[in-house]
């Protein structure tokens, strides 16, 4: 079960920083566009897709035309409020939900989790839930910060920022640990790459076996 106190604290952090997050420019536009193109190419017009941790909805808006429906969720009410102000395709719906409660509408053909898996308090448990809520052959498409693979100096800096409330609650894991958790949950890795210059932020495409 999710730690509700932890979830509530995380939502407060992102509610507080939602406007600043929305105003932040994309740092590597080429990498962002390449990632979107790869994800869109893996979706089918008949797919019912879930995105967890959608933030202010930019990726969901771009990906929705590649699917039959896309439900984009975030546990931050302010993030979802901003997402709902943007022009969006008619097959896209934004909902306030935690990573766990977002799964109530499953099973799905694909689940997207961009820069969110490191923010959950029980990652092995969530991965098992994601697996159960995919149709056989369904995809989990993720991009995850692996903070434990960063150098010592940035890890110390993030620790200080977390202490003073300027960095979200996050788990520190290596890419190898993340791979093992995904494998333990039952997923089969079908693609792995890095978009941009940060190898600590790997992109995984995984399939639930048929």
Q: In a 3-state reduction of DSSP, which class is residue 136? A: strand
Helix (H, G, I), strand (E, B) or coil at 104: helix
What is the per-residue pLDDT for 10? Answer: 73
The mean predicted confidence, pLDDT, of the chain is 89
Please spell the DSSP secondary structure of 140-164, one letter per residue.
Answer: EEEE---GGGS-HHHHHHHHHHHHT
Please check the confidence at residue 4 and state whether its pLDDT lies above 60.
Answer: no
pTM: 0.89
- Cα atoms found within 13 Å of the Cα of residue 121, Cβ hemisphere only: 14
The tens digit of pLDDT for each residue in 153-209 reads 765 655 655 665 555 567 789 999 999 999 999 999 999 999 998 899 999 999 999
Give residue 156's pLDDT: 63
Q: How much of the chain exceeds pLDDT 70, in percent? A: 87
74/87 Cα distance (integer angstroms): 18
DSSP secondary structure, 71-102, as one string: EEEES-HHHHHHHHTS---TTEEEEE--TTGG
pLDDT at 161: 53
Q: Which domain holds residue 199?
A: 4-207
* pLDDT digit string, tens, across residues 86-131: 999 999 999 999 888 899 888 999 999 999 998 888 999 999 999 9
Separation between Cα atoms, residue 109 and residue 147, nearest integer Å: 29
CATH number at residue 90: 3.40.50.150
Look at residue 187 and give its three-state secondary structure: coil
Q: Is the pLDDT of residue 65 over 60?
A: yes
Task: Please tell me the predicted confidence (pLDDT) of residue 14.
Answer: 86
- For residue 142, the model assigns a pLDDT of 97
pLDDT on residue 165: 59
Assess contact for 133 and 103: CB atoms under 8 A.
yes
pLDDT at 15: 92
Give yes or no for a contact between 144 and 172, defined as CB atoms under 8 angstroms apart: no
**What is the number of domains present in the chain?**
1
Among the listed residues 170, 121, 169, the one whose alpha carbon sits nearest the alpha carbon of residue 144: 170
Which residues, in sequence order, are CB contacts of 9 under 8 Å at separation 6+? Answer: 169
């Amino acid at each position: 079960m999710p730690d509700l106190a932890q979830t509530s604290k995380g939502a407060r952090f992102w509610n507080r920083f939602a406007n600043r997050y929305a105003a932040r420019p994309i740092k590597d536009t080429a990498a962002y566009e390449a990632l979107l193109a790869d994800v869109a190419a893996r979706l089918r017009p008949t797919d019912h897709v879930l995105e967890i941790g959608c933030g202010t909805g930019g990726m969901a808006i771009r990906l929705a035309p590649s699917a039959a429906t896309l439900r984009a969720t975030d546990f931050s009410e302010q993030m979802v409020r901003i997402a709902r102000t943007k022009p969006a395709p008619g097959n896209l719906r934004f909902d306030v939900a935690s990573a766990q409660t977002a799964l109530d509408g499953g099973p799905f053909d694909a689940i997207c989790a961009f820069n969110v898996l490191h923010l959950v308090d029980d990652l092995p448990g969530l991965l098992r839930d994601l697996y159960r809520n995919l149709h056989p052959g369904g995809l989990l498409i993720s991009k995850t910060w692996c903070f434990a693979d960063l150098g010592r100096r940035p890890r110390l800096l993030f620790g200080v920022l977390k202490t003073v409330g300027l960095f979200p609650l996050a788990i520190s894991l290596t890419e190898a640990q993340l791979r093992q958790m995904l494998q333990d949950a039952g997923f089969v890795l079908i693609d792995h790459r890095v978009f941009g210059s940060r190898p600590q932020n790997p992109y995984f495409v995984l399939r639930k076996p048929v």
